[in-house]
Each structure stands twice: as structure tokens, then as C-alpha cells.
Amino acid sequence: MSEQALRYDLSQSDIPRQWYNIQADLPRPLPPVLHPGTKQPVGPDDLAPLFPMALIGQEVSQERYIDIPDEVREIYKLWRPTPLLRARRLEKALDTPAHIYYKYEGVSPSGSHKLNTATAQAWYNKAEGIGGLTTETGAGQWGTALAQACNFFDMTCRVYMVRISYEQKPYRRAIMQSFGAEVSASPGDSTQAGRMILEQDPDSTGSLGIAISEAVEAAATSGGRYKYALGSVLNHVLMHQTVIGQECLQQMALADEYPDVVVGPVGGGSNFAGIALPFLQRNLREGQSTRLLGVEPAACPSLTRGTYAYDFGDTAGMTPLVKMYTLGHGFVPAPLHAGGLRYHGMASIICELYDQGLMEAQALPQLETFEAALTFARSEGIIAAPEAAHGIAGAIREAQAAKEAGDERVILFNLCGHGHFDMSAYDAYLGGELSDYEYPQAAIERAMAELPQI
């Protein structure tokens, strides 16, 4: 490669043929998932009303690699492999000696990394004869991806979209509907969970936890016509995303460099896991020492200020109990624009990595992330989703630290989605209408008092 190479591309034959399962290499196994009634570890029968058996098997699998079905891999070819780019113009703008690379997942048909797992989940459900899927979505990236994936396999799709995002991002909703999905604002009056929330707060702006409750209820009461699909948090979802990091390993070799730090935003954990876990495998099995840095909003600081405890994954308490860093299942976030990161908890895998000291985490304020996004857009030409901007901001902090230290550290971050349908957020930022918000400690303490007793 020439000194001034900007882009490192792979051929379609280089698309990974297997997903990587970190559970095979964790120094300490994941805590068991518990039944909300008995408080005993759940079994396959407990999860069968919501998920197909193949995905339940992947959720608990200890196999290091799981084969990607040929039909899924064929659909991946619509956008994979995604490019790795050297952000030389950003390096110049920051006047940093650091070498900054980004993996751009915004080239997928849905505009984000989410289609990597949506395609797989739809395929496994279709293979077991399921005709439709229910789900929740925050900013709409996941709902968009699942609507498209269901369309690929001629399945119906019902999406419960967090109400504030439903109102802020009407074009995301229109995309989902264009692919045949039924989209409802959450909380709504079509489910018992939604009605309960509206009785307590008729003006509720919603949360991912509330939307999960509605989607789970809709699937569980459908008489088997629908299963439930989740866009992050679960083990199999994070595993499906490892195609990102596996491609990055090949592309960094083309660049003849290796990252000192890998950065990604964390909300539920899927895109960070997608890029970071294959590098963590190198740390654990080959003695590499790459730092892994997750960046979350200061308004929803699950890792950095949450408690590592068993909690429900949803607001109504319908899901199994998972040990995770949590702000409490009753958490209702401030209506910041990074809707996809407004989850009260975190993926079990990410929580274990953090608890075991295998990764780091930062919580950044909203205004800094938008400032970083504009710096990136004006240098690299890509407008990122507000969620993805957290990864940019984390990478910029690393680049500034490299400048202060005078070192040429290699920084890799996951640019997990474009912001083409998030321009109302940019409009608000440019108009001076946004402000920083830090989640109050008193609210966290109140929520901790309501955690399930295990």
C-alpha cells in the first residue's frame, strides 16, 4: 500500500464464513440468566415463546465459531465487506501524530451495522416456520434493519418505536413502513404494558425498556405467529456483529498497522462488541495488548455509573433477569438525540468485560459528541448518526491525548451508522437548542432500591 492510502477494501470472498463467539475465550463465564418468577437459571423451554431454538442454542453456545448460513452470507454481499478508511484529513484537522482508522458500517442498505444481525435473526426464524417478528427501536436504526430483513424473507414485522424518536425521526418511521413494517409509538394503548405506563404518565416520552415490554408482550400473546427479535444486548446478537472486527483484522493487515486502541459507542453493546471482540480474542489468546474503549452518553451512563446487579431487561418486568450494569429497569431517559444509546442496562458480555477489566468506558456529554461529529463531517465528509458520534468523540479524545503525549498511537473506531435521517438533531445543535444533561445521582439511587432481590 502507498504511504497515502486512504481506503482498504476486501473482496467478497473475504467476508467471514463464521461468527466469533467470545464465550469460548472469556476468563470467567457469564453469570446465568434467571427466570423472573423462580429466580432459577432459565432453560430453552423458558425462551422458546420468544426465540427460535437455533438462536437459543447460539445464546448459550461455548463453541468458538458458528457457521454463517449460506443464504445469510449471500445477503451480506449486498454491502459486505465494508470499507476501512484512514482518516488522514481528520488527523490533519486535529494536528495529531495519531493514525486514525474507521470501519464504516453506514454503507449497508439500512445505513448501519444492525443489518448484520437482523438478516441472521430473520433467516433463523423463517427456517423454523415463523411468519413474523416483533421488536422495539430507539432512534430507528434497528427497526429499519429488521423491517428490511423481514422483507428479504417475506415476513411481517411489528415495530414499537420509542415515542420521542417516533416524533423526532419521522423519516426513519417512513423507511420501516416502506418495507412493510407496522410501526407504533411506544408507549401506546395496544398492549397492556403500554397502557400501564400511560396510566402512570400520559405524557411519557418512552424508553427502550418500555418498548421492549410492548414488543415482548405482542410476541408472547400472538399464539406462536410472531417471535421477538432484539437488536443488541443478547449474546447471539453481539456474535453476529463480529463480522465487523474479523474484516478489520484483515484490513489492518493490509494497512500494515495494528490498533493500540479500539473505540466504539455503547448503548446495548452490539456495535462495540462487533468491532472489539475479535481484537479481544487476540489479546486473550495471542498476547496482544489493544485497549478497548466503550463510549456512552453522560445522560445514560449504564457502565460508568450503574450498578452491576440482576435486573429486568424491560420496564414491565416481563423478561428474564440478567446480571448487568444497570440504571434500573424503570429508567426513563432525557430526550437526547442519541436514541439508540438510551438503554438502562447493557449486554451481559460487555458488562463482564468491564467488570473483569478487559475494557474501559467513558461517558461523554451530548454537546461534545455533536462537536466531534461536525469536526469529522467537515474533514472526512460523512455525517454520522448521533449514536455513532460517540465513537468519533472517543477517538478524537484519544487523538488529542496522543498529541499531548507525542506518540503515534493507532486508533480504530467503528462508524456504525450514517446520520442522513438525523438532521433534526443537527439542526437543533446548530441552532443552539441542545444542552448537556447528566443523569442525577439521586435518580440512580432511587432506581437501585427497586432492583429485584436475588
Q: For residues 369 and 297, what is the distance between their CA atoms, to the nearest angstrom?
A: 9
Identify the pLDDT of residue 449.
85
Q: What angle do the packed helices 141-152 and 115-127 form, to 10 degrees?
A: 40
Domains of the chain, residue spans: 7-14+69-111+236-448
Q: What angle do the packed helices 170-178 and 141-152 form, to 10 degrees?
A: 10
How confident is the model over 377-401, as pLDDT tens digits? 999 999 999 999 999 999 999 999 9
Residue 331 confidence class, pLDDT cut points 50, 70, 90 = confident
Identify the pLDDT of residue 1.
41
Tally of residues, the chain: 454
Angle, alpha carbons 137-138-140 (nearest 5°): 70
Sheet with 132-137, edge to edge strand ranges: 182-186, 156-162, 132-137, 226-228
Work out whether the CA dihedral 39, 44, 49, 54 comes out positive or negative.
Answer: positive
How confident is the model over 234-289, as pLDDT tens digits? 999 999 999 999 999 999 999 999 999 999 999 999 999 999 999 999 999 999 99
Identify the pLDDT of residue 441.
87
Q: What angle do the packed helices 366-380 and 386-405 form, to 10 degrees?
A: 80
Neighbours of 178 (CB within 10 A): 13
Q: For residues 393 and 375, what is the distance between their CA atoms, to the nearest angstrom?
A: 9
Grouping H, G, I as helix, E, B as strand and the rest as coil, residue 308 is strand
Give the residue-averaged pLDDT of 75-96: 98
Q: Which three cell numbers, joined as nine digits, stand for 309?
A: 446487579
Angle, alpha carbons 324-330-334 (nearest 5°): 100
Grouping H, G, I as helix, E, B as strand and the rest as coil, residue 433 is coil
Q: Which of 58, 101, 188 is nearest to 391 (CA)?
A: 101
Residue 142 confidence class, pLDDT cut points 50, 70, 90 = very high
Give the residue-averaged pLDDT of 329-338: 67
Q: Which amino acid is at 92?
A: K
Neighbours of 136 (CB within 10 A): 29
Domain 7-14+69-111+236-448 matching CATH 3.40.50.1100: the answer reads: yes
Are 419 and 428 in contact by the 8 Å Cβ rule? The answer is no
Residue 342 confidence class, pLDDT cut points 50, 70, 90 = low
